[in-house]
Every structure is written in structure tokens, then in C-alpha cells.
Amino acid sequence: MPANPERTLLCGGLEISRLVCGLWQVADMEKNGQPLDPVRAADALEDYAKAGFDTFDMADHYGSAELITGRLLQRYAGANKRPVAFTKWCPEPDSMTAEVVRKGITERLERLGVSKVDLLQFHWWTFEHPAWLDALHEMAALRKEGLIASIGVTNFDAAHLALALADGIPIVSNQVSFSLIDRRAAGALSELCRLKNVTLLAYGTLCGGFLSEKWLGKPEPTEIRDWSRSKYKRFIDAAGGWQAFQCVLAAADRVARKHKVSIANVATRWVLDHEAVAACIIGARLGESEHRVDNLKVFSFALDAEDRALLADSFAGTKPVPGDCGDEYRKPPYLTASGDLSHHLSAIPSIFAGTPVPQRPGRQRVSSGSVWEPIAGYSRAVRVKNVIHVSGTTATHGANHCVAPGDAGAQTTYILDKIAAAIAALGGTMNDVVRTRIYLRDGAKWEPVSRAHGRVFGQVMPANTLIEAGNLIGDYEVEIEAEAIVD
């Protein structure tokens, strides 16, 4: 058995352990308001680091995890090599000015006690609020300034990762749920990562510990206390329920016995073997439980074709987790530790805050604040009784930035978010859309546009027209208008 976990280089050139120590569990252990003893917790991290598990993942909201890691890093002051600290910034959607972003990143630097964050991963709650692009552009500027070594994102679906890359953000990684139970990341996201040289950092690989001998053949739990298992029990339910889960667990157990390793090892190996995956992040309950010796065995064996086939057969009894990566934070079914997030999402201010403007009884309009709206006399969208008409919408961000120049598919993703926000501001949803019209500059680019439209409207199926318009105004590849009828 190897003495240390395998290592790999993230695209930014950062060397990391392929088993990253995840510190969300710190927040769970501190949920009663009592922080962990920082010295003892840093001792525990030091034990991980000395055993080669020297890459740690945390976030702004993981209790005192950043402070504990900061304490660990202090112990390496003056050394030519120190542990690697990934963190996340998960701001509430609102205006992302340079000051707001600098403040968010500076707080990470201060809590970690470093002058540069190794990997700063960005999370955003709703793409209908477009300030996420401003935040990422500001992060790119702070990277140039030397405050961030590499930029990552977390819980981005393939379409929005593609959009961010097409708009020039130098993203090296996307942290997403990926396991024998949640296999979404193996699809479009992995293909995008392959094409664009972005890596995946997988979490949930052990479903909070459910993917282990401890749960093999056991009855379905009725009471779960820790956040991690609460979350992954929802994934198990969405993937077909406890019996379907037990079939996957039994298959993993057969493979594990054959190789004389654990079920956790098989679950981790299966995820690590995906080309896009740089590392698995395995949660650690510091000072409570510790699985390093077992987890190291991940590097002692290989899955063969028979093992893969056995696991694939067991998937047949499960259902795919709905949606794309990260959808669990943005739409039903909400598969998060706290469950339904609709109250959180509905409290997020709309980009059209301050509108709609009532015009006369039964008529309202929303404006995106473009200087041209009053000059040319038009609205982003108008609602007359229960019908919403959305103007031809282009991928204009802010005053005049054309998003993702030349990329018709990415522009379509951006446009449909804008249309969704306008319809929502007038009391409708994308499910109410009955017609879309797409104007394309270059008819040869129909396919990425059609696919982006299909991702949003695959179930709604509005009437649609796709036209090669040849001469769109400005640098835009595509312009889309929509109509919705609110029941």
C-alpha cells in the first residue's frame, strides 16, 4: 500500500492530494454554538497533513474551519512547502461591485492568515441574478493583483461553467457532488471539462458515510442528526430510495471483497477514475472519527471491467438524480442539508428590483435600466392581464458588455436567465412560456442554441421559431423573445 495519497496538479499548477480533507463537518460539530478548540483542531489537521492528506477544503460558512486552518498554516511559516487551503465565497446575490468582492476575498485572506488564497471557489444561488459574472470578473482582477492563486467555482452546471469560460474567466475547477448515487457530473459537465481543461473536485463521494459497510443491509434510518447524512439521505431518496441504494451498496461490497478493500474505497476509486476528476473531498469530523488508513487503500487497487459492469448493473435499479450539477441548491427537489430552500431563494432581490411599474389596470412593465429603453420607448417585458411579452433579449451584461463574444450557445444560456428573471418579476415562471422566437446571426450555429433552449424548455415545450437573421444589431450572435401566459 502506498504511504501517502496520490498527488495531482490542478490546472493552475497547484499540487494537491487526490484525497482532500473536507471541513464542512466542522460547522456541523459547532452547530450548538460551541467552536472547536482551535489548537486541538489544528493538531488534528496537522496529523492529516503529515500523513500526506495535506489539502483542505473549507468555505466562508464552515464554522471556524478557516480559522483552524489558518492556525495550522502558521505552523508552517518560513517552511518552503505548506498545506494547501481551498476555500469558498458564497455571497448572497446582490450587486457585486469591486468593493464587495474585495471585502469577501480579504475576509478569506484574514481568516486563513495568508496573502494569497490557493483556490478560491465561488458559489452563486441563482443565475437569474446576473451579478455572478461581475463577481467572477472581479475575482479574476484580484487574481491578477496576486490575492488569489486559482479561481474555482462550486455547484455550477455545465451550461453556466461554459458561459463563464466563454466570457473569459480563468476557472480551473468546479466542485460538485459526484458519487455512485449521484452520477450527474459524469455527463455534460465532464465532457465540458475535457474540452476546456477544467477539473472536477468531487464531494459527497461517500454520501456522508452511507457508502460504507456500516449501512450494508441495515434498515432505513428514521432519525439523522448530522447535516451531511441528512443531505445525502435526500439524494438517496431522489435516486430511487433505500432499496435501490442497498443494491448499489451490495454491488460495491462485492467489488470491495474481491479486492480486500472497503466499500468506501470502491466508491472513491470509481469517482477518481473519471478523467475529469482531480480529487475527491472526503469529510472529516475532527477529533471524533478518522479514516485515513482505510482511505489510503484507494490507491492500492484498480477497478477492472468486471467491477465496473457490476456497479453499472446496480445503477439500473436507481433513478438519475434530477437536473444538472448544483440544481439541488437552485430548484426542487432541493437536496440540501436543510431541505427546501425556496424561502431563501424567494428572498433574493430580483435584478429587476424596483419594478414592475404599474401602467394602467391590468398592465405592468419591467425595465432593465438600459439607457435605450426610454430613448427608443420599449420595456424588457410587459404584462397585460395574464400574458407576459418579453422583448427581443440579447446577452448584454450591465450597460453594454456583450457576454461570451462569438459563442451562440453561451449567449443563449445568459439570455434565457434574463428572460426568466423578467418573467419572474411580472409574476410568471419559465413553465408559463408558450412561445419563443430565436434570431440567429449565423444559421450554422443553430445546434448549441437549440441545445441551450432545450435545457431550459425540454419539459415546457413552447411553440418556437428559429430564424437566421443575418444582421443582428451589435456584436450579438443571438436574440430571443418570449411570451408567457400565467394561469
Rule CB under 6 A: which residues touch ligand NAP? 22-25, 57, 154-155, 175, 203-209, 212, 228, 262, 264, 281-283, 285, 289, 291, 294-295
Q: Please identify, using beta-carbon distances, which residue of 68 and 206 lies nearer to ligand NAP.
A: 206
Q: Please identify, using beta-carbon distances, which residue of 25 and 318 lies nearer to ligand NAP.
A: 25
Q: Output b/e per residue, 327-344; b: 16+ Cβ within 10 A.
A: bbbbeebbbebeeebeee
Q: Please identify, using beta-carbon distances, which residue of 65 and 390 lies nearer to ligand NAP.
A: 65
Give the bridge partners for 391, in sequence order: none
Q: Which residues contact 426 (CB under 8 A, 6 or more apart)?
A: 356, 364, 366, 381, 383, 388, 486
Q: Give the three cell numbers for residue 193.
A: 471539462
Q: How far is CA 13 from CA 9, 150, 171, 336, 368, in A?
A: 5, 9, 13, 32, 41
Q: How far apart are CA 487 and CA 387, in angstroms?
A: 9
Is 264:290 a contact under the CB 8 Å cutoff? no
Residue nearest to ligand NAP (CB): 22
Q: How far is the CB of 96 from ligand NAP (least distance, A)?
A: 19
CA atoms within 13 A on the CB side of 324: 15
Q: Please identify, using beta-carbon distances, which residue of 291 and 437 lies nearer to ligand NAP.
A: 291
Q: How far is the CB of 295 from ligand NAP (least distance, A)?
A: 5
Q: Is the sign of the CA dihedral 329, 334, 337, 338 positive or negative?
A: positive
Q: Please identify, using beta-carbon distances, which residue of 154 and 436 lies nearer to ligand NAP.
A: 154
**For residue 333, cis peptide bond before it (omega within 30 degrees of 0):** yes
Q: What is the DSSP letter of 307?
A: H
Amino acid at the residue 163: L
* Rg from Cα positions in the chain: 24
Q: Please identify, using beta-carbon distances, which residue of 87 and 368 lies nearer to ligand NAP.
A: 87
Q: Please identify, using beta-carbon distances, which residue of 154 and 199 lies nearer to ligand NAP.
A: 154
Q: Give the three cell numbers for residue 348.
A: 433574493
Q: How far is the CB of 249 from ligand NAP (least distance, A)?
A: 12
Count Cβ atoms within 10 A of the Cβ of residue 145 and give its class: 0-12 exposed, 13-18 middle, 19 or more buried: exposed
Q: How far is the CB of 265 from ligand NAP (least distance, A)?
A: 7
Q: How far is the CB of 237 from ligand NAP (least distance, A)?
A: 16
Q: How far is the CB of 292 from ligand NAP (least distance, A)?
A: 8
Longest Cα pair distance anywhere in the chain, in angstroms? Answer: 75
Q: What is the DSSP letter of 36?
A: P
Q: Please identify, using beta-carbon distances, which residue of 280 and 395 lies nearer to ligand NAP.
A: 280
Query: What's CA 6's distance to the chain center, in Å?
Result: 25
With cell 508552517, the residue in question is 76
Q: Please identify, using beta-carbon distances, which residue of 252 and 425 lies nearer to ligand NAP.
A: 252
Q: How far is the CB of 81 from ligand NAP (least distance, A)?
A: 22
Q: How far is the CB of 273 from ligand NAP (least distance, A)?
A: 17
Q: How far is the CB of 399 from ligand NAP (least distance, A)?
A: 33
Q: Please identify, using beta-carbon distances, which residue of 258 and 291 lies nearer to ligand NAP.
A: 291
Q: How far is the CB of 422 from ligand NAP (least distance, A)?
A: 29
Q: How far is the CB of 80 from ligand NAP (least distance, A)?
A: 27
Number of neighbouring beta carbons within 10 Å of residue 302: 9
Q: How far is CA 99 from CA 135, 139, 291, 389, in A?
A: 10, 11, 42, 36
Number of neighbouring beta carbons within 10 Å of residue 216: 14
| Nearest residue to 203 via CA among 118, 284, 320, 89 | 284
Q: Which residues contact 237 (CB under 8 A, 6 or more apart)?
A: none
Q: Please identify, using beta-carbon distances, which residue of 230 and 464 lies nearer to ligand NAP.
A: 230
Q: How far is the CB of 353 from ligand NAP (least distance, A)?
A: 27
Q: Please identify, using beta-carbon distances, which residue of 142 and 153 lies nearer to ligand NAP.
A: 153
